[in-house]
Amino acid sequence: MADLARQGPSLLALDRRDRGDFLRAFYRRFEDAPVDQLRADSWELFHRQLLTRSFPDGFARVRAHRALGHRTLLITGALDFIIEPIRPLFDDIVCAEMDSRDGRLTGHLTTLPPIGEARALVLADYAEAHSLSLEESVAYADSASDLAMLEAVGFPVAVNPESRLSAIARRRGWHVEHWAKAQGGSHRPLPLGPFDVKSPKAVMGR
């Protein structure tokens, strides 16, 4: 954690300059990590951290789309084992994947997820492969970095948009939604495993 904090400013600068370079640099930290252990840890991470910071409206929306017979695709920069717990929620997922050797990760990505404008290209290829119409498709995003993807579909939706995307959405008349985070769990910016839980109230007696 201390090492990550020290490198924080340089990582943030790299993220602003090139998201792809940032992901490659950050994910090198997984070099020599045991694959089986990380896959087990990812489920603990999901239940103890991600669920408490998730957006229930998002889960409900995906289920609603699938109930209507819509095909759902998640495009994310997260590694495959991190999002494994939510894989059944979607029809397909495009994410980052890392090479492994002898049961340990190498730190080198075999699949770098599309970023920025490349996401629109992936979406177009996906639509063509599954005989889908982009004009009848819906895309959800919260950042202006996904502007090309939002422009590619007939029904763009800005969810909890950052300021730049919020301004673009208002100007273009796009639908904007605000989803609330799940209730429960703490709101610490840097969760630290078992410490990220509410302490039981003390019972005082005479």
How many domains in the chain? 2
SS (H, E, C) 29-40: HHCCCEHHHHHH
Residues 133, 159: one domain?
yes
Contact by Cβ (8 Å): 97, 111: yes
Q: CA-CA-CA-CA torsion for 57, 63, 67, 70, nearest 10 degrees?
A: 100
pLDDT for the residue 89: 94
Q: Which domain holds residue 58?
A: 19-113
Range from 4-8, 172-176, 187-191 carrying the lowest mean pLDDT: 187-191
Q: Evaluate whether residue 14 is within a structural domain.
A: no
Q: Evaluate whether residue 202 is within a structural domain.
A: no
pLDDT for the residue 19: 65
Q: Which residue is listed with tokens 């020290």?
A: 6
Domain's final residue, options 61, 79, 113? 113
Provide the token pair at 44: 């603990």
Report whether pLDDT(16) > 50: yes
Contact by Cβ (8 Å): 96, 78: yes
Q: CA-CA-CA-CA torsion for 131, 135, 139, 144, nearest 10 degrees?
A: 130
Q: Residue 73: beta bridge partners? A: 92
Residues 88, 165: one domain?
no
Residues 122, 164: one domain?
yes
- Range 40-48 average pLDDT: 84
Q: Evaluate whether residue 197 is within a structural domain.
A: no
Report whether pLDDT(152) > 70: yes
Residues 124, 67: one domain?
no
Model confidence at 54, pLDDT cuts 50, 70, 90, reads confident
Q: Evaluate whether residue 7 is within a structural domain.
A: no
- Range 189-200 average pLDDT: 42
Model confidence at 13, pLDDT cuts 50, 70, 90, reads low
Residues 106, 50: one domain?
yes
pLDDT for the residue 9: 64
Q: Evaluate whether residue 48 is within a structural domain.
A: yes
Provide the token pair at 177: 């939604």
- 47 Cβ neighbours under 8 A, 6+ residues apart: 85
pLDDT in tens, 88-145: 999 999 998 999 999 999 988 888 778 888 899 999 999 999 999 999 999 999 999 8
Contact by Cβ (8 Å): 59, 75: no
Residues 24, 102: one domain?
yes
Residues 98, 179: one domain?
no
Q: Evaluate whether residue 40 is within a structural domain.
A: yes
Residues 27, 105: one domain?
yes
Distances (CA, A) of 67 to 53, 58, 112, 114, 130: 25, 14, 30, 27, 18
Residues 122, 37: one domain?
no
What is the chain's mean pLDDT, rounded? 83
Cα 182 from Cα 86, distance rounded (Å)? 16
Burial of 52 (0-12, 13-18, 19+ CB in 10 A): middle
Q: Which residue is listed with tokens 């991470």?
A: 45
Burial of 118 (0-12, 13-18, 19+ CB in 10 A): middle
Residues 37, 122: one domain?
no
Model confidence at 190, pLDDT cuts 50, 70, 90, reads very low
Range from 19-28, 61-70, 157-166 carrying the lowest mean pLDDT: 19-28
pLDDT for the residue 44: 85
Cα 52 from Cα 205, distance rounded (Å)? 33
pTM of the model: 0.77
Q: Evaluate whether residue 206 is within a structural domain.
A: no
- Range 148-152 average pLDDT: 96
CATH number (domain holding residue 61): 3.40.50.1000
pLDDT for the residue 52: 81
Residues 109, 123: one domain?
no
Q: Evaluate whether residue 200 is within a structural domain.
A: no
Residues 125, 157: one domain?
yes
Task: Report the amino acid identity of residue 47.
Answer: H
Domain's final residue, options 73, 95, 113? 113
